[in-house]
Amino acid sequence: MGDLKEFWGMMNVLDSADDVAVFVVSGRDQSILYCNHLVTVLTNAHTGSPVSQVWDMEDYRKANTRCNEGGTYRYVVEKSAFGNRRNVTVSKVVWSGGILAYSFLITAHVDDKEEEERDKIFNLLGKDFRHIYLIDMIKGDVTTLIKPVDGGEGHYRAVYYHPVGFDEWKRDMIEALVHPDDKDQLRAFIEPAEVRKRLDKGDYAFQYRQSRGDEYRWVELRFRKMDELKGKIVCTERDVQGEITLSDSEKVNQAILSSLSNAYRSIYLLDMKTNEYSTVKADALLFGTPREGDYDTLLQIVSEFIPDEAQKRNLAATFSAKALEEALSGDVDNVVREYTSTLNETESWMSVTAFMPPYMQGMENKCVLTFMDVTENKRVEAERNEKNMIVDVLSARYRSVYFVDLIKGTYHSIQIPQEYRYIEKQFKSIDEAMDHYAKAYVLEQYRDVFKNSISREEFVRHPGDHTRREYVYRTVEDTWIRLHIYPLSDDKGHAEAILIFEDFTDVMVQRELSLLYNAVLLADYDYMYEYDIDTDLIYSLKFNGERLVREKSWDGEMHSDRFRKQVPIHPDDLPLFLMALSKENLDDAFDNGKTVSHMFLRRKEGDKGEYRLFMYGMHYYEEMGKRRVLIMVRDSEREVM
């Protein structure tokens, strides 16, 4: 826009207006460069005044950002120094001397369909929320209906902002305001698919910590369906800091119990800051233990059931409130120890576990303590360790190893990856555990065969079959696993089986390469490449003396500027090469099963000299669930055998 000093006549018209407010703000120091007479009358501002005297600074900064991203920005305010329900139009201008500035035009607002929709929401919900958002689930955009004015800064309460995309709204809300420990949970909470699923059962609410200056406060987001809105939902935010009553302690206990197994003898909730505990699930054998009180007293009572003095000292050192706080505030998910005990009439074993409680307000400094009788597990483990096969099973070459009781359906791990440990904690039956594993980690086309191969019914149905079996399957992470199944027998038939999971990816990749390219002799070609359509990357195929290997030859995706700068094909021929591997040509080639040849000028790899003519043979095929292009390159002057 040109120099505004040329338009003093227009400014004189604006100065006499009694229903239009205009002010122009310097982008350099946020001072007012010009304001009309109405602005001066209502706010006592004039040229040189700070914009905060006229307008809310948070809203001013947001308007600047929107203008810089997309030009003119429009929205509506409910209350302002210039009247209620006003249109705001913000634009970028250039002032004298080349100063970048922002003009604010405030005019009367006329009710429309969106205003009627907004009023319906306010009539149903009221306005007692920090934020109210209207989310269009079809268009994927979010409109702010109410935002707070914190600290009293500004002259209005903003209403009905210009809609923004859902991803932008989510990013601004999470990255700018949310406590770092709460970000992952909130991201999962507001995913559109999760919102739709939860809303089918009614309102959907979640609490998290939100930044307010130098502190964090708990707020609650609640999504709601409203019959009056078609294809839209409402999200409200309110402050719930400190809304914890005595009646909520039952909810806390229920949340803890619902996340744990009934196998625990007793469960306690410890406040690591105050050293106080409360009882979630009492143990009748720990007679005399109060339901709540000083945690050191509880530790002393527990230690009386441990006959070994060294183990008593270990309990006191490991499970003190201070030690648990230090351990659980680091990278440790839980603290687990096992001790001999006299909880039963005969010598027994007791497992003590401490971990963080379910995510909810009021649990920031708490941990859950559980006590479980593991005597039977110790007995079973001792028997298994007598088996000669354990020596081989414990080898580091295996990914995970399980013993399965085929009669009871229980199982016990000898070795297990860290990421799968939750399965053993949550599922006590091998059938339930493997069913969950199959759904979560096994690729769909391998899933049914996997579950049938590992089910107890198969072992029971063939009691005389002692044959070791194995099964190879693919995971959702695109790795290959070989499962070894060792049936064990005793006088009663099949009592146990050993399941061994082995990483088989490298072997399967070699088989895959051999299957794909066993008819191709590298000696017939100067170069061979494989184009991976899913990642848009090209790999060199080379023989290293023992096997065929893929090597990433270039940095960057094929349809990127980085690739164009590195590839040895002549610049005049490069567009044709890229077009041959474009989405349109690939779709057509796969539909018709084509093999196509092209001639391109290129340099030899590592050679900066002259370009030579090479023949490119492109073979399009689908194998192992993926679409691929095999590119075979031969010097055109070579004799074709």
**Model pLDDT for residues 513-527, shown as the tens digit of each residue:** 665 554 455 556 788
- 3-state DSSP call for residue 122? helix
Task: For residue 476, give Cα distances in angstroms to 16, 444, 453, 470, 499.
Answer: 70, 8, 19, 20, 20
Count CA atoms closer than 13 A to 378's CA, side-chain side.
13
The CATH classification of domain 248-370, taken from the options 2.40.160, 1.20.5, 3.30.70, 3.30.450: 3.30.450
pLDDT tens for residues 546-585?
A: 566 778 777 788 888 888 888 888 988 998 888 888 888 8
Residue type, 575: P
**pLDDT band per the 50, 70, 90 thresholds, residue 78:** confident
Q: Which helix (H) or strand (E) holds 324?
A: helix 321-328
More confident of the two residues 155 and 585: 585
State the alpha helices, DSSP H only, in 150-209.
Answer: 166-177, 183-189, 192-199
Reading the block at residue 115, the tokens are: 């205003």
Would you state the pLDDT for residue 640? 45
Q: Which residue has the tokens 């005990």?
A: 341
Q: Show Cβ contacts of residue 103 under 8 Å, excluding neighbours closer than 6 positions.
A: 22, 23, 24, 25, 90, 91, 92, 93
What does the pLDDT average to over 381-408?
A: 63
**pLDDT band per the 50, 70, 90 thresholds, residue 447:** confident
More confident of the two residues 102 and 260: 102
More confident of the two residues 257 and 11: 11
At the topology level, CATH places domain 4-108 in Beta-Lactamase (3.30.450)
pLDDT above 90: residue 24: yes
- As a residue count, the chain comes to 641
Q: Which letter, b or e, does each residue of 179-194 get, where b requires 16 or more Cβ atoms within 10 Å of its Cβ? A: eeebeeebeebbeeee
**pLDDT band per the 50, 70, 90 thresholds, residue 51:** very high
What does the pLDDT average to over 271-294?
A: 75
More confident of the two residues 437 and 112: 437
- 3-state DSSP call for residue 474? strand
Closest CA to 33 of 18, 20, 50, 17: 50
Dihedral sign, Cα of residue 387, residue 389, residue 391, residue 394: negative
pLDDT above 60: residue 328: yes
**pLDDT band per the 50, 70, 90 thresholds, residue 153:** very low
User: Worst-scoring range by mean pLDDT, 287-296, 322-331, 434-443?
Assistant: 287-296
CA 571 to chain centre: 42
Measured at the CA of 206, the angle between CA 203 and CA 208, to 5 degrees, comes to 160
Would you state the pLDDT for residue 527? 85
CB–CB of 84/49 below 8 Å? no
What does the pLDDT average to over 521-545?
A: 77
Closest CA to 475 of 500, 454, 502, 444: 444
Would you state the pLDDT for residue 158? 43
State the alpha helices, DSSP H only, in 57-130.
Answer: 57-70, 113-125
Would you state the pLDDT for residue 516? 56
Q: Show Cβ contacts of residue 368 under 8 Å, excluding neighbours closer than 6 positions.
A: 256, 260, 267, 268, 269, 270, 280, 354, 355, 356, 357
Q: Which residue has the tokens 């149903």?
A: 124
Reading the block at residue 166, the tokens are: 């859902």
More confident of the two residues 389 and 219: 219
**pLDDT band per the 50, 70, 90 thresholds, residue 202:** confident
CB–CB of 500/481 below 8 Å? no
More confident of the two residues 508 and 613: 613
Bridge-based pairing state of the strands 100-108 and 86-94? antiparallel
Would you state the pLDDT for residue 638? 67
Quote the percentage of the chain above a pLDDT of 90: 5
**pLDDT band per the 50, 70, 90 thresholds, residue 25:** very high
User: Worst-scoring range by mean pLDDT, 103-117, 235-249, 294-308?
Assistant: 235-249
Q: What is the pTM of this model?
A: 0.35
Would you state the pLDDT for residue 104? 92
CB–CB of 109/119 below 8 Å? no
Task: For residue 142, give Cα distances in angstroms to 64, 73, 121.
Answer: 19, 15, 15
Residue type, 147: K
pLDDT above 90: residue 334: no
Left if phi > 0, otherwise alpha if psi is -120 to 50, otherwise beta: which for 191?
A: beta
Q: Show Cβ contacts of residue 416 under 8 Å, excluding neighbours closer than 6 positions.
A: 400, 401, 402, 424
What stretch(es) of the chain map to CATH 3.30.450.20? 4-108, 387-503, 509-635
Neighbours of 483 (CB within 10 A): 19
What does the pLDDT average to over 176-190?
A: 83
Reading the block at residue 350, the tokens are: 């007791």
Q: Which letter, b or e, does each residue of 488-512 get, where b requires 16 or more Cβ atoms within 10 Å of its Cβ? A: beeeeebbbbbbbbbebeeebbeee
Would you state the pLDDT for residue 32? 93
At the topology level, CATH places domain 387-503 in Beta-Lactamase (3.30.450)
pLDDT above 60: residue 374: yes
Catalogue the E-assigned strands of 263-357: 266-271, 276-281, 292-294, 334-341, 348-355
Reading the block at residue 423, the tokens are: 């399965």
Dihedral sign, Cα of residue 550, residue 555, residue 560, residue 563: negative
Closest CA to 85 of 164, 162, 160, 163: 160
pLDDT above 50: residue 155: no
CATH class for the region spanning 509-635: alpha beta
What does the pLDDT average to over 68-74?
A: 76
Query: What does the alpha-carbon distance between residue 39 and residue 51 come to, in Å, rounded to a whole number?
Result: 11
More confident of the two residues 279 and 389: 279
At the topology level, CATH places domain 113-239 in Beta-Lactamase (3.30.450)
CA trace torsion 400, 401, 407, 409 (10° rounding): -20
CB–CB of 15/34 below 8 Å? no
What does the pLDDT average to over 616-634?
A: 79
240-247 contacts, C-beta under 8 A, 24 or more apart: 240/207, 240/361, 241/217, 242/218, 243/218, 243/361, 244/361, 244/362
Query: What does the alpha-carbon distance between residue 251 and residue 379 come to, in Å, rounded to a whole number?
Result: 37
What mean pLDDT, rounded, does the chain reach?
77
pLDDT tens for residues 214-271?
A: 888 888 888 888 776 777 888 888 887 776 544 455 555 555 555 454 556 677 888 8
User: Worst-scoring range by mean pLDDT, 297-311, 375-389, 396-410?
Assistant: 375-389
Would you state the pLDDT for residue 529? 87
CB–CB of 615/588 below 8 Å? no
Cα distance between the two ends of the chain: 70
Would you state the pLDDT for residue 337? 87
Query: What does the alpha-carbon distance between residue 188 and residue 181 come to, in Å, rounded to a whole number?
Result: 13
